[in-house]
Amino acid sequence: MAKKPSATKPRPWPEMATHLVDVAMGRTPADLVIRNGRWVNVHSGEIIAGTDIAIAGGRFAYCGPNAGHAIGQGTKVVDAGGRYLVPGLCDAHMHVESGMVTVTEFCRAVIPHGTTSLFIDPHEIANVLGLPGVRLMHDEAVAMPVNVHVQMPSCVPSAPGLEHAGAELTVADVVEAMTWENIIGLGEVMNFPGVAANDPVMSGEIAATVRAGKTVGGHYASRDLGLPFHGYVAGGPEDDHEGTRAEDAIARVRQGMKAMLRLGSAWYDVASQIKAVTEGGIDPRNFILCTDDSHSGTLVHEGHMDRVVRHAIQQGLKPVTAIQMATLNTAQHFRLEREIGSIAPGRLADLLIVSDLAAMTIDEVYARGVRLAKGGKLEIDIPAYDYPRTAKNTVKLGKKLKADDFDIAAPKGANEVRVRVIGVIENQAPTRALEADLPVEDGLVAMDRRNDVCQIALVERHRGTGGVTNAFVSGFGYMGDCAMASSVAHDAHHIIVVGTNKQDMALAVNRLGEVGGGVVLFSSGKELALVEMPIAGLMSDERAEIVAAKAEKLTEAMRKMGCSLNNAYMQHSLLALVVIPELRISDVGLIDVTTFQKVDLFV
């Protein structure tokens, strides 16, 4: 039977210092001693063979050649057998909601993969439920047996005037959140034009964070490295994960920022940017690895930060350097170097026993001195977190959708029209602003499956207005009659539906209204796959393994409809993200994110 984790977090280092000294000196026995390991020392960049580690009260007390003096009658002794001793991995920037599961289930999924510290930005739930939603995830995070630090969302809505979210956060909300015990800083500041223009909300939130002595997260989703970029950096953001090129990473590091390189379920930005280190010789101390968005299928079947570290090593990084980017560099960035990020005296005893360093083969996972996983299996029970009724039933359509809600009337007398089309880019968050010539049938603009142009619509779901915004998208490759709808639609989280058949589009949207949110795929009137997400229309209340199985069924159904994109669901969910170029859809209309203006569908 799985054991329940200890509810107590280790006491602060100053309160334990004398006890740790006694253990290190051999005056008091350790709780746990791990012997004969290869110490991956991220401070010195060495791998030190024949190392013993002594742990007391959930913290490291002694790291050296022989901890025999710290072994007493009650000390548990583990023989590492020459395997590597690696600090617990940190994910520096991520959104739990993208995993389709709660904080609890996310932790259950990633602990066996060696992640012991998470830095989460719950701006998805904030866009639906506001500050109370952030508080829910904050409180759930505190209860975890690993370190789950919360960044206060900065941009809700992400682009004021270009979308309407379910809630709005203010400078006063940020000031309040900075007093909460587990808020580590300000979440990604996505309104980069606002920062460069000295928008008072953005400058006020950043100032409140800096005054609190906490870290300001960045999000500069533009290729323009001219004055707007310099203005953004001067405004205070300290990191950025939106780079896609080596020159992006170099520019950020030169300006004193941390370049966060992400490998999520659909974002593959490590390989191109790590060349700044492997080929350009840039100092790796200011590079950090993260995931940003990983859905449940990736977590269960492929891994989490172990997957990112493994990938970085495959791109030519030395294993110790890659591990530094997922441990010490992250801890230093968030001003937590004396708490996490390394195996060194006083730090929380978060440690991995690894048999193959380059492959990141993790045999055992310890957090706060307690073994939580072995052989890829969780050994503890983490009780489910009970979300209140107010966090559910958030999908309000206002009406039952019909096929004609997705009609797009052509200009009078036109037989053909030229339209703007959102172009999906595989494995990247940006889109392309494309154009296509489409036929007109009975006064309505028709789709063009042969040239991969199908319809996209955004359905308002927070206030029940019944509003529908229609446009076109390319890149999914759907060939059969089908439609996929999702109530996860970053960042305002209305419903996005993409389809080749209007009747299926209506059925898919209505189905999400019935189940309270999620993602669903219909074909010719039949439901092929459904992942229910009743918590804010963003997260499931089921186990991660169950959600992953449902997500895999969805992926397979999409493939059968002709979609060959890697992780197409992630691409689908970002089509309304009006802070990443080039073209997006919102409840306001079609948005050109290079000019931050609404544009007409017809060219």
Residue 14 counted as domain residue: no
Question: 154 and 220 share a domain?
Answer: yes
Question: 231 and 159 share a domain?
Answer: yes
- 395: confidence class by pLDDT, cuts 50, 70, 90: very high
Residue 145, domain extent: 88-336
Residue 67 counted as domain residue: no
Computed over every residue of the chain, the mean pLDDT equals 96
Could you give phi then psi for residue 557, rounded to 5 degrees?
Answer: -65, -40
Residue 499 counted as domain residue: yes
Question: 435 and 526 share a domain?
Answer: yes
How is the chain split among helix, strand and coil, in percent rounded to 5?
A: 30, 30, 40
Q: Answer whether residue 6 shows pLDDT above 60.
A: no
pLDDT-wise least confident of 72-81, 108-117, 425-434: 425-434
- Show Cβ contacts of residue 227 under 8 Å, excluding neighbours closer than 6 positions: 196
pLDDT tens for 164-184 read 999 999 999 999 999 999 999
- 301: confidence class by pLDDT, cuts 50, 70, 90: confident
Among the three residues 336, 353, 376, which one is the final residue of a domain in this structure?
Answer: 336
Could you give phi then psi for residue 67, rounded to 5 degrees?
Answer: -100, 20
| Chain-centroid distance, C-alpha 371 | 26
pLDDT tens for 477-524 read 999 999 999 999 999 999 999 999 999 999 999 999 999 999 999 999
pLDDT tens for 533-570 read 999 999 999 999 999 999 999 999 999 999 989 889 98
- 8: confidence class by pLDDT, cuts 50, 70, 90: low
H-run or E-run covering 104: helix 103-110
Average pLDDT over residues 327-351: 98
Q: What is the pLDDT of residue 590?
A: 98
Average pLDDT over residues 9-36: 97
Q: Answer whether residue 295 shows pLDDT above 90.
A: no
Residue 569 counted as domain residue: yes
Average pLDDT over residues 66-73: 98
Question: 126 and 248 share a domain?
Answer: yes
- The amino acid at residue 172 is A
Q: Answer whether residue 7 shows pLDDT above 70.
A: no
Residue 384 counted as domain residue: no
Residue by residue, DSSP assigns 369-412 as TEEEEETTEE-B--PPP---GGGS-----SS---GGGG--BPPT
Q: Answer whether residue 194 shows pLDDT above 60.
A: yes
Question: 304 and 434 share a domain?
Answer: no
Question: 171 and 313 share a domain?
Answer: yes
Average pLDDT over residues 434-445: 97
Length, in residues, of the chain? 603
Residue 398 counted as domain residue: yes
- The amino acid at residue 257 is M
Question: 164 and 291 share a domain?
Answer: yes
Q: Answer whether residue 578 shows pLDDT above 50.
A: yes
Question: 464 and 566 share a domain?
Answer: yes
Question: Which CATH number characterizes residue 113's domain?
Answer: 3.20.20.140
Tally the domains of the chain.
Answer: 2
Question: 437 and 324 share a domain?
Answer: no
- 297: confidence class by pLDDT, cuts 50, 70, 90: confident
Question: 312 and 432 share a domain?
Answer: no
Half-sphere exposure of residue 104: CA atoms within 13 angstroms, side-chain side:
17
Listed residue (423, 410, 373, 346) closest to 59, CA to CA: 346
Residue 47 counted as domain residue: no
Question: 431 and 522 share a domain?
Answer: yes
Listed residue (302, 236, 238, 319) closest to 268, CA to CA: 302
- Show Cβ contacts of residue 538 under 8 Å, excluding neighbours closer than 6 positions: 97, 100, 124, 125, 128, 487, 488, 493, 517
Average pLDDT over residues 229-247: 97
Q: Answer whether residue 266 shows pLDDT above 80.
A: no
Question: 311 and 453 share a domain?
Answer: no
523, 480 contact by CB (below 8 A): yes
Q: What is the pLDDT of residue 463?
A: 97
Residue 343 counted as domain residue: no
pLDDT tens for 319-333 read 999 999 999 999 999
Q: What is the pLDDT of residue 2?
A: 47
Average pLDDT over residues 333-341: 98
